[in-house]
Structure 1
Amino acid sequence: MLLAILLILLQTGTTDLQISLTTEFSERRQIFLWIASFASFAVKVPMVPVHIWLPEAHVEAPTAGSVILAGIPSKLGTHGFLRFSIPMFPEATLCFTPFIYTLSAIAIIYTSLTTSRQIDLKKIIAYSSVAHMNLVTIGMFSRNIQGIGGSIPPMLSHGLVSSALFLCVGVLYDRHKTRLVRYYGGLVSTMPNLPTIFFSFTLANMSSPGTSSFIGEFPILVGAFQRNSLVATLAALGMILGAAYSLWLYNRVVSGNLKPDFLHKFSDSNGREVSIFIPFLFGGATVR
C-alpha cells in the first residue's frame, strides 16, 4: 500500500485523495496500483486466504480488544476498496472483478461451513464476521446502485452486532470462565435477561428481516444477481448457512438443560452490563 501511495505521489505530485481521483492512470499502472492496494485491503477485510489471523486474534484478545477489532479495523479494508481502489482504478477494478467474486464466494461458503464446526464461542463469531464482510465486497464490486448502496449499511451494522455478540461472550466468560460451547446449555433458566439480549443480536447476525443487517444484505444480493447469478446464489446460500449456525449456537448455549457439572448458577446481567448493550441496540435501529 505504501508503494502504491508513493507511485501516486510521483505521478500526481500530491497525496490528496480528491485530486488523485481526477487523475487518469494508464491501464497498466492501474493494474499495478490496484494489486498493491488489494494486498493490504484484503488482509483487513479479511479475504481468503489471508483471513486466518482474525479468528486467532479474537481468541487471544480480551473482550474489549475483540469489540474494538470487530467494530473498526475489519471495516478498513472494505472502506479502502470503496473510497480508493474502485473509484481511482475503474479499468483495473473491472478486470479484477471476477477474481474478487471468486475469492468472496469461496470465503462465504468456506467460513460458514467452518463456523458450524467450531467449539469456541469467539471463533464462531469471528468466522461469521469473515462471511459477512466478504458479502460486502461482493456488493461493492457489483458496481451498481443496489450493490454499492447495500454494502454500506452492513459495515455499520456488523460493527455493532458483532461487537455486541463479543460482549455477550465476555459476560458469559466472566461468570463461567470458559468459551467452549459444549460446557453451556440451559442458561435461560438461570440468566433470563442475557439470553434475550443474545437472541436480539443473533437475529441481526443472521440478517433476519427487520434487523439492521437485512436492510443492506438484501440489496447486495439484488445487485449481485444483476452481475453474476452464480455468485449471488452462493452468497444467498452463505446467508442460509449463517442462519443455521447462528440458531445452532443460540440453541446450544441458551436452550436445553442446565449442565450442573460444569456450570454454576450466577447472577444475571447487572445494570452496568445491560447499559452497555443499550447503545448497540439503538445504534442498530439508527442504521435502519
Structure 2
Amino acid sequence: MLTLAVLIPLLAAAVLALAPVGAGAARWTATGAPALSLLALIAVWAGGGEGFRAVSEVPWIPTLGIAWRVGVDGMSLALALMSALIFVAASAWPMELHHPRSYYAWMAFLAGVSIGLFVTLDLIIFYVFFDLSLVGMYFLIGRWGHGEAQHAALKFFVYTLAGSLLILIGIIVLALNMPEMTFDMRAIIDSPPLAAAGMVPGLIFLAFVVGFGIKTPVFPVHTWLPPAHVNAPGPASAILAGVLLKMGTYGLIRIPMQMMPETFARWALPLAVVGVISILWGSIVAFAQDNLKRRIAYTSVNHMGYTVLGIAVAGSALGSEAARQMALTGAVVEMIAHGLITGALFLVAGAVWQRAGDYHLPNFGGLAGPAPRLTGAATLAAFASLGLPGLAGFVAELHIFLGTFAVYPWLGAIGLLGILITAALFLRMIRQMFFGDMPKERAGFTDLTGTETALLAGLLALVVLIGIWPAWLLELIDAAALIPALGPGG
C-alpha cells in the first residue's frame, strides 16, 4: 500500500509529461493521484499496528546496504496523510495557467516525492526524495510564479541544496559507523552508532541541525523563505509551507533525535534557544510586513520555532518522561496543524492575487461585504494560527508549552510572548483586509467560487476537528513510542 501511495502520483506525473492531454484532464489527473494515495494511506491507518507498520523491502544496491524500504509509525503516517490531503486541495485549486500540463505534472511529481520521503525507511532513499522535492518546487516557483520568481526559485534551490549536502555527509557518517554498513533507519535507531562525546558526533549533529534547519526554516537560515512564498503561485506556497517545511522538522526527529539521542541531549538547550529566537523573530518581523504573503511566510518561521522548541525539549533527557512526551506530541501536532492552517492561508492569499493582482495590505479594506466566504475562511485560519482554543493550533501549543515549562521554564516564558505578537499581527491583518472602507480599485472584487470554498472547507474542517476532538490524532501519533530512543529522563 505504501509503495502504491508513492508510485501513483509519480506515474501520473510521467503520464502528464508525455501525453498531450488538455488542461482540465491534467488538473484532475494531478488531483486524483494524491487522492488515491490518501485512500491507500487511510487503508494503512485502518490496519492498525504498533511501531513501524506496513513494512516492505526490496533490495536496490545490496553491496551498500541500500534498499527500497517503506514503513510508517504514527508520526510519519500522520504527516503522509496530511501531505496527500494538501496536495489534493492544491492540485484541484482553480488556476489560469500557461503550460498547464507541465504545471500539473510537477505537482503530481512533488506529491509522490513528498509522500515517499515520509514513508521511506532507508536513509539514502530519504535523501533522494529530499533532493527531488527541491527540483519540483524550483520549477513551480520559477515557471509559474510572479514578480521575481526566478530569483526566488534560485535562492530557494541553492539554500536548500546546501542544507541537503550537509545532511548527506551526516547520513554517510552514521552508516559507516554501524557494525555492518546499512542505511536502514530501524537498525540505526535500534543501535545508535555514535557516542555522545567527542568532536565527530558534535559536528555531525551540527550538520543535521543546519541542514534540516534550512528546510524548516529557523533563524538565521530562513531568508530564502519569504521571497519564495511572495513570488510563488498560491497552491505552490500552500505545498511549500504545508508539506516541504515539515520535511525539516520530521528529519530532526527521525535522524538526530532518534539516531543520535545522547548527542542530541547534550545540545538540546542551544537548539531550544534557536527555537525560541525563531518564535520571537518570526512573529516580530511578520507584524512589520505590509505584504500579505510575506506576513504569512514569517509566521511560518514563528510556528516552526514552536515545533523546534518542542523537539528540543523532547530530546533533552531532562525532566520527566511524561513532560518530554508531551512536548514531542505538541511538536508533531504543530506540524499537522501548521500544514493545514498555513496551507489554507496561502490558498486564501492565492485567491486574493487572482482577483486583485496585489498583496499590499494597505491597498485593501472592506472585503467582508463582497467576499463573505473569503472573509470567513481567512478569519478562521487566522484564529487557528494565533492559537485560539477549540482549534488545532491551541492543542499543539498547549502540549509544547506544558512540556517546555517542565524542562526549560524560562524559555517557555519567553516563548509565550510569540503567541501575543502572533495574535496582534493576525488581528491587524483581518482588520486591514476585511473591514473599514473598500478602496475604489477593489470594486467588483468577487467572493470564493464553489470549488475554492469546498477545498478550504475541507482543510479548515480538520483544523476544527483536531481542536475540539484531538484524541484520534494523539492516538495516531503515539509519541510515547519515540521516547525510549531519547535516553533516560533527568
TM-score (norm 1): 0.96
Match of 2:141 in 1: none
Instruction: Indicate conservation of the 8 Å contact 2:364/2:434, yes or no.
Output: yes
Q: 3-state DSSP class of the match of 2:442?
A: coil
Gaps of 5+ in 2: 1-166, 315-323, 471-490
- Assess if the C-alpha contact under 8 Å between 1:139 and 1:147 holds in 2: yes
Q: Structure 2 CA distance, aligned partners of 1:271 and 1:206?
A: 27
Q: Which residue of 2 aligns with 1:6?
A: 172
Q: Which has the larger radius of gyration?
A: 2
Counterparts of 1:77-226 in structure 2, within 5 Å, are 77-143=248-314, 144-226=324-406
Answer with 76-85 or 266-275: which moved more. Answer: 266-275
- Tell me the alpha carbon deviations over residues 141-176 of structure 1, each in whole angstroms, 9 at most, x when there is no partner: 112111111111110111111010011111111111
Q: For 1:59-78, list aligned pairs within 5 A.
A: 59-78=230-249
> 2:23 matched to 1:23?
no
Moved more, 268-277 or 123-132: 268-277
**Aligned partners of 1:266 and 1:43: how far apart in 2?**
38
- Deviation of the 1:286 alpha carbon: 4.5
Instruction: Give the drift of 1:26.
Output: 2.0
CA contact (8 A) 2:175 2:182 kept: yes
- 2:355 and 2:445 in contact (8 A); partners too: yes
Q: Distance in 1 between matches of 2:195 and 2:392?
A: 40
Whole-angstrom distance in 2 between the partners of 1:11 and 1:229: 36
Aligned residues: CA RMSD:
1.3
**8 Å CA contact 2:278, 2:305 repeated in 1:** yes
Tell which deviates more after alignment, 50-59 or 95-104. 95-104
The higher-RCO structure (CA 8 Å, 6+ apart) is: 1
- 2:265 & 2:365 partners in 1: Cα distance? 49
Name the SS for the 1:185 alignment partner.
coil
Aligned equivalent of 1:234: 414
Deviation at 1:218, TM superposition (A): 0.7
Deviations 1:127-146 (A, max 9, x none): 00110011111111112111
**Is contact 2:308–2:331 with CA below 8 Å preserved after alignment?**
yes
Partner Cα distance (1:268, 1:32) in 2: 52
Q: CA deviation at 1:285?
A: 3.6
Q: CA deviation at 1:70?
A: 1.0
Aligned residue type for 1:7: V
The structure 2 residue matched to 1:252, chosen from 425, 429, 432, is 432
Deviation at 1:94, TM superposition (A): 1.6
Q: Percent of counterpart pairs with the same letter?
A: 29
Matches of 1:11 and 1:107, distance apart in 2: 33
Render the CA deviation track for 1:233-259: whole Å, top value 9, x for unaligned: 121110111111011101110011111
State the alpha-carbon separation in 2 of the partners of residues 199 and 22 from structure 1: 45
Match 2:452 to one of 273, 276, 283: 273
Question: Residues of 1 paired with 2:359 and 2:307: CA distance?
Answer: 28
Partners of 1:117 and 1:184 in 2: CA distance:
17
Residue identity in the other structure for 2:212: F
How many Å separate the matches in 1 of 2:373 and 2:220? Answer: 39
The answer to whether the 8 A contact 1:176-1:264 is kept is no
